[in-house]
Structure 1
Amino acid sequence: MADPHPHLPHIGRHTPLTTYRLQLTPDFTFDDAQEVLPYLVDLGITDVYLSPILQPVPGSRHGYDVVDHTHVNAELGGRERFEAFSTRAHALGLHVVVDIVPNHMAVPTPVWLNRAMWSVLKLGTRSPFATWFDVQDGEQVLMPVLGARIGQVLTRGELELTRMEIPSEPELGEQWVLRYYDHVFPVAEGTESLPMHVLLERQTYRLAHWKVGDEELNYRRFFDVDTLAGIRVERPEVFDATHALLFDLFDHGHIDSFRVDHPDGLADPRGYFQRLWDRTGGAWTAAEKILGEEEMLPADWAVCGTTGYDTSWRIHALQVDPSAAMPMGAVMQELSGDSPSSFPRVVATAKGDVIDTSLSAEVRRLANVVWEICQRDLRLRDHTFRSIVECLRALIVEMDRYRAYVVPGSPTPQSSRDVLTAARNRAFLRLDPDLEDTLDVLVALVLGDEVGSAGLSSRDDRRSEVVVRFQQVCGAVMAKGVEDTAFYRWTHLVSLTEVGGVPDRFGLDLDAFHAFESQLQENWPATMTAGTTHDSKRGEDVRARLAAFTCYPLEWAALVQELRFVTQPRRPSKLDGRTENLLWQTLAATWTGSDPMTASRLEAYLTKASREQKTWTSWTSPDTEREEELISFATTCLADDVVISLLDAWQTRTAGTQRTCVLVTKALQMTVPGVADVYQGSEVTRTSLVDPDNRRPVDFPALAATLKGVREGQHDGVDAEKMQLTAAIAHLRQRQKWAFVSAESTYAALPTSSGHAIAFARGDHTGPRAVTVATRLPRTLADIGGWEDHTVVLPRGRWRDILGGRMHEGGAARLAELLGPDPVVVLEAVDEDTEEKE
């Protein structure tokens, strides 16, 4: 039998319906997670979705810093307790999704915690792991760990040659090592008796001042994180070794599906996913792929879809009032000097900043490869290194996405040519006209085209390396320059600066939303939809509240003016305007009785946000005095009676609209095409900000009590309403699974007479089975008199409200009667035979 859809799991493989993400930590182990499983079943979840389970650095709070692929995380309980967890989950009817980290491994302190890295540092090319890491050939591996320059460290005698037993190599007994405080490094055999400065020269690694890393690091990193080294999973032996344990657990039925972390860091994502798909027999796999506004996941990737950022930003933007763009832009301009039209400039500046600083080593490494190609070809020899770097910098700055999907040895898609040509044309405007020829050579190399002397390209592996590394560098610059820099500088509406978001798209119209969802249903019916993730800069409820604020733009501007006036006596003289605008939006969006903001959480968030902004402080050069002034000001605001009064009044004024946005966000996320993910705790309202705040412990007994209360009729408050809605839709998805995630699932926009109504039907081969009708921009709706006689056309048949149980006939229905006091209604088709039984 033919598979029903190229992006659905193969026949016989499990397809998730509704996942629930659990963040495992040493404080929340497999056994703790096992205790939560009955609650997840009651909630209506079909798949429990775990953060990485392989052995990370000791004490890891997230699991993405893997050091050993051959063991399950001992601090979580090891393989035995994972298998017990999985067995219990399956006994309860749940399936298990596990997060894979194929792109990188940790470079821990001490290094011997990573046996593979220790072996490479010790044995170099003789190591059995010599092909694992993406290190520049023929060079000592740079270890930028010293607190001062190497000459100063030697003069002070801070390096100690000693003997110790290495826990990862106990069979070798004591061996010679170099110690530098907490750092331990191997010593090449036969060099231990040499003078220290000679000994250092004879190692396969080079110890260096930590500041040297950004300029001279010679191994590929995860973005700009020196302690996460890229691995060459494109090599079959590395793929097999790093996935063997996961595949063994999969083969024994303990894992059903996979989520893949950061595929843009890989040399060949397409090849990786095909290998994973083939090995698992077509298991459901979601890729953490961040797409541009007009970008779709490549059809030749053997995955079932993304992790949902593309859907998430559209659901949010749909509820942002476009009329607020100018008033909120005026607030931003007054505080920060940024105009609403300046976002492209902010992005270009931020990308240039990271290229020139934290990612300069990666860019220079790529430029060196291009320059070597030119030097070996008479026709290209006059393109200087400096001109190559300048053109490369401009081209990367103007790339509007993570990669162009060019694969060495494969025909280059026209869409990739279009993307790179557009970037080339924008880049040229930044350059001296004399560099056009160099720019065109660079673009040809990146596209894998013939350039220079005929026939040389087929004999030069460096040309393939340019294609690969350009895309890896582009992804890193997009992540660090845009998401982790520009998104912290841009404060127009901070909820739009989300992973995968489009901050200068202030609002989204219904037609664009329906067109995207229809395309998603056709091409990627089992993709994932997300509201909150472990990487979210703000959780779904914080973003929803900020969307609600756009319904009150003039009132918001007035509130900011009042807050600034009453806090003027305490405002630091050097308070950064961007940070101040971020502060007011953050305080207002987290000003709730449920999960209230605390001084310690606010301090941690503002410190991280300010350092990621990289304008007046940073991680590498923190301005601690200004940071302390900012934190003192912010935490004082939390306790100031006048500030409290103003924010209480704002909360009261906007509470109804906030409720609408919170509930509509959840309903849409769980009923649009795809596998709906519920991030731990997001079935009630949360004020979570960027990690580690969004990885805080969750009170599962309290959640279970809330669900029990909802079942007993306790529906007061937004938390209870959100819990009731989440559980009701999750159970609906189980009853109507073919309408939500299958080859026969359908999505159809429903006709409405008001642009304030979002309405669509989900169906299967029998016809429509579920309908969602939701409210958007409720303040404007109220200003024009409410729904009045506006209608939505329901599909034929009879429909039951899954929350209230009210029945509705198909055909034109008055929105006022359909929705009543609620912002959203979800309906289920009532079959005649079902009705007769009742």
Structure 2
Amino acid sequence: MGRVPVSTYRLQLGPDLTFDDAAARVGYLADLGVTDLYLSPVLAAAPGSTHGYDVVDHDRISEVMGGRAGLERLVAAARAHDMGVVLDIVPNHMAAPTPAYLNKALWSVLAEGPESPYASWFDVDLAAGPVLMPVLGRRIGAVLADGELSVEPAPAESGLDGMVLRYYDHVLPVRAGTEQLPLADLVDRQHYRLAYWKVGDEELNYRRFFDVGTLVAIRVERPEVFDATHRLVVELVQQGLVDGLRVDHPDGLADPRGYFRRLDEATGGAWTVAEKILEPDETLPGDWPVAGTTGYDAAWRIGQVQIDPAGATDLAGVMTELTGDSLGGLPALIESSKREIATGSLAAEVERLSHAVAAECRDDVRLRDHTLSAIRDCLRELVVACDRYRAYVVPGEPAPPLSVSLLTEMAERARTRLDAERGETLDVVVDLVLGREVGSAGRRQQPRRDEIIVRFQQVCGAVMAKGVEDTAFYRWTHLTSLCEVGGAPQRFAVAPDDLHAWAHATQQSHPTTMTNGSTHDSKRGEDVRARIGVLSQLAGAWREHVHALRETSAGYRPADLHGRTENLLWQTLAGTWGPDGPIAVERITGYLVKASREAKDWTTWTAVDEAREAALTGFVEQLLQDRAVVDLMDAWARRTAEPVRTAVLVTKALQLTVPGVADVYQGSETTTVGLVDPDNRRPVDVEPLAAALARLDAGQRPADLGEEKLRLVAALLRLRRSLPEAFVGSRSGYAALPTTTGHALAFTRTLDGEPAVCTVVTRLPVALAAAGGWAAHTVVLPEGSWRDVVTGAVHDGGPVALADLLADSPVAVLSAAPPA
């Protein structure tokens, strides 16, 4: 492995932050203590892209960002400050853009079908029929009847010759030799099938990124596709322009392990992390040549170690009162949400898999009595029962014992949801997805059986993502800060010993993994989650507060306001209401509308309830203009100011000192209010931050919590930069430090087995204050002399009074002080 980052700073590049804009920030980031830039995808993307995950050309750097020359200028600026560069890459999918000719590979397949040189790129069976293009606003018959399609010369800007088929902004190729046919015949003779957009969820015949029809999956498991789509990225690594990689959504790939092995070989072992969502009892596959994950597993534990388990009952009471959901109801909610997705927006994926299994059964005399209907039922229930993104079964290899155990448990859960008559079919399906010999002897590893193994795992991941992350987590409102990407709301609170155990295991298995607090995918930024988490410490008071808010707003609250949306609203206000009041009303309403559509309870992306959405928006606008509501929320903000301060600073102190490469999402070095994208991807003005950092470095005390967080982040990033071996790599270590109270969490980072850095933080400050404060409680520091990296205060090793150590701040990070 080459360069390993010590810390990264995520930059969301795009029209509002070009390479040259980013280069202008490098000096500030160096002052902050950052060791590596972490860039969002930089390859050419679909027009208007604000994120870069919709790649259209793997051989070209985004011109919108500044092209290859701009990227090289940014890298040069980073190198001038001894900073590395980490790049986010997207191997799973490409964009199906409008117009389609912007993706030359896809255009070629649409134009030439199986004869296209790019026919092997996309996860679609071209031999089975034309590629479904569900882009029409109405059914094809109505579109033809009303003359909405036309054949015309290719647009000059496309660089294409000949004729094209146009549907408003959509431009599609015309198959050679069909130009003169009557329009209906011409449409029928293409290598693609134009269809009403709603047809996609039921009949789509290509794999997508989850249920996003404009992101079409590619087959990077094929060497020629990997080479073609990674040529430029590998070149950037080999030429020293890029040092490390973040891989987007590897669970969508046919063979994640094979992909990472090929990538590792191509890049010479560059530091690489996988965007892998792990369940609480799941570990990263040990045979992936990666440094670790992108840090969701760290983020939820750091948040939930600060959740008071005593608050669960009162918060559940509010939820039940408003929504009807009850404590303990999350598993059933997840199951119903996943089934809804498997029979709705991802029904086409389940159907395609079902037909593959049915075809295999029809071709074997011993299996042909297992019908398509039975197979579909069994697969759907198996997918719903899967409690993680996938089981890692590789065609041609015996299924690992863990995967066998997982599938066995899934099958038992599925069996309880199926008629007894389906039992034998379920057994056959399980054998097929595990790669076992079933049916006639010798029919074990064949192309279609291999496809079944792979596609089943891909469908499981898609249903998990859309059913849990993007549906159930928007419906479950017990404590919304727990319903985060990669989160574990079923755990509610985490004990300090559990965090220590996870950190120790991570240090042993993946010492250069990544940790994060906020990301571009966060449903709520770290500070919003911290504020909402405080509700668990004041749950009884929060219940009374919600009652007061409801009573105050009763006169204008919509009669049909959905309970889950309402509970989400109150918690969102708590998470975003600061000393200066609420954020802009359009940001809150935009978030609530998006969250409600994702929840799919009363409005959805595909069936918008405009009247109720307008009523929700109007209600929120009235709330924020209601003096009584404003007074209530201002009072809540004042009441929670100190526990919020603790949660904000503790979250960052832990994230920057537990094992792994620490990432800072743009702007999160200070307090920020970030809701789900696009809210959390807004441009960040770093000039005020740079000025504030300069004042703090000159000795000025922080003016507010934002500056206090900035001071802490800078101190810890600079500490990491000065002592990298204590934080990342084989020489670093982790050990818990003893405390006499559960209100303190403490550990040391070691270098070659010797303590080098100590972190001591406050837990559950509301209960701590109620118990009378720190009193005589202590933490035992290692032998020697220890200097607070923020204040400069020096403490001797041995038992140290927490009241002294944490007198001015809820956190203390100490470095070994040199002998006097």
8 Å contact 1:165–1:175 — kept in the other structure?
no
- Equivalent residue runs for 1:240-639 within 5 Å: 240-458=227-445, 460-593=446-579, 596-639=582-625
- Counterpart of 2:72 (choices 66, 74, 83) is 83
CA distance in 1, matches of 2:697, 2:810: 21
Q: Does 1:93 align with 2:82?
A: yes
Amino acid at match of 1:748: A
Q: Does 1:755 align with 2:742?
A: yes
Cα RMSD, aligned residues only:
1.0
CA distance in 2, matches of 1:594, 1:315: 27
Q: Could you say if the C-alpha distance between residues 383 and 412 of structure 1 is closer, same or farther in structure 2, counting changes exceeding 3 Å?
A: same
TM-fit CA distance, 1:615: 1.2
8 Å contact 1:594–1:686 — kept in the other structure?
no
8 Å contact 1:602–1:635 — kept in the other structure?
no
8 Å contact 1:222–1:230 — kept in the other structure?
yes
Amino acid at match of 1:28: L
SS in 2 for 1:313: helix
Normalising by structure 1, we get a TM-score of 0.97
- Counterpart of 2:142 (choices 146, 152, 158) is 152
8 Å contact 1:395–1:424 — kept in the other structure?
yes
Gaps of 5+ in 2: none
TM-fit CA distance, 1:766: 5.4
Q: Could you say if the C-alpha distance between residues 167 and 243 of structure 1 is closer, same or farther in structure 2, counting changes exceeding 3 Å?
A: farther
TM-fit CA distance, 1:790: 1.1
Gaps of 5+ in 1: 1-9
The residue aligned with 2:53 is: 64
CA distance in 2, matches of 1:706, 1:60: 32
8 Å contact 2:511–2:730 — kept in the other structure?
yes
Amino acid at match of 2:203: E
The residue aligned with 2:154 is: 164
The residue aligned with 2:708 is: 721
Count residues in correspondence. 818
8 Å contact 2:579–2:638 — kept in the other structure?
no
8 Å contact 1:594–1:685 — kept in the other structure?
no
- Counterpart of 1:30 (choices 19, 44, 52) is 19
TM-fit CA distance, 1:831: 2.9
8 Å contact 1:53–1:63 — kept in the other structure?
yes
The residue aligned with 1:3 is: none
CA deviations over 1:724-755 (Å, ceiling 9, x no partner):
00000001111211110011110000111111
The residue aligned with 1:5 is: none
TM-fit CA distance, 1:792: 1.0
SS in 1 for 2:491: coil
CA distance in 2, matches of 1:27, 1:716: 29
The residue aligned with 2:35 is: 46
Normalising by structure 2, we get a TM-score of 0.99
Q: Which range moved further: 406-415 or 177-186?
A: 406-415
Amino acid at match of 1:647: M
SS in 2 for 1:293: coil
8 Å contact 2:739–2:746 — kept in the other structure?
yes
8 Å contact 1:595–1:686 — kept in the other structure?
no
CA distance in 1, matches of 2:635, 2:202: 51
SS in 2 for 1:550: helix
Q: Does 1:116 align with 2:109?
A: no
CA deviations over 1:308-349 (Å, ceiling 9, x no partner):
000100000100110111100000000000001110111011
TM-fit CA distance, 1:557: 0.1
Amino acid at match of 2:137: G
CA distance in 1, matches of 2:692, 2:654: 22
CA distance in 2, matches of 1:511, 1:83: 46
TM-fit CA distance, 1:595: 9.2
TM-fit CA distance, 1:508: 0.6
- Counterpart of 1:816 (choices 788, 797, 803) is 803
The residue aligned with 1:6 is: none
CA distance in 2, matches of 1:277, 1:249: 14
The residue aligned with 2:204 is: 217
Instruction: State the identity as a percent.
Output: 57
Amino acid at match of 2:275: E
Q: Could you say if the C-alpha distance between residues 654 and 165 of structure 1 is closer, same or farther in structure 2, counting changes exceeding 3 Å?
A: closer
SS in 2 for 1:714: coil
- Equivalent residue runs for 1:608-757 within 5 Å: 608-712=594-698, 713-757=700-744
SS in 2 for 1:362: helix
TM-fit CA distance, 1:818: 1.3
CA deviations over 1:431-474 (Å, ceiling 9, x no partner):
1122111111111111111111110123x211111110011101
8 Å contact 1:309–1:529 — kept in the other structure?
yes
Amino acid at match of 2:307: V
TM-fit CA distance, 1:821: 2.9
CA deviations over 1:365-402 (Å, ceiling 9, x no partner):
00111111111111111111111111111111111100
The residue aligned with 2:784 is: 797
CA deviations over 1:190-236 (Å, ceiling 9, x no partner):
11111112111211000000110000010000000000000001111
CA distance in 1, matches of 2:16, 2:581: 20
TM-fit CA distance, 1:420: 1.2
CA distance in 1, matches of 2:203, 2:154: 31
SS in 2 for 1:379: coil
CA deviations over 1:225-255 (Å, ceiling 9, x no partner):
0000000011111111111111112121111
CA distance in 2, matches of 1:75, 1:280: 27
Amino acid at match of 2:182: P
CA deviations over 1:37-72 (Å, ceiling 9, x no partner):
000000000000000000001221101010011110
CA distance in 2, matches of 1:765, 1:600: 52
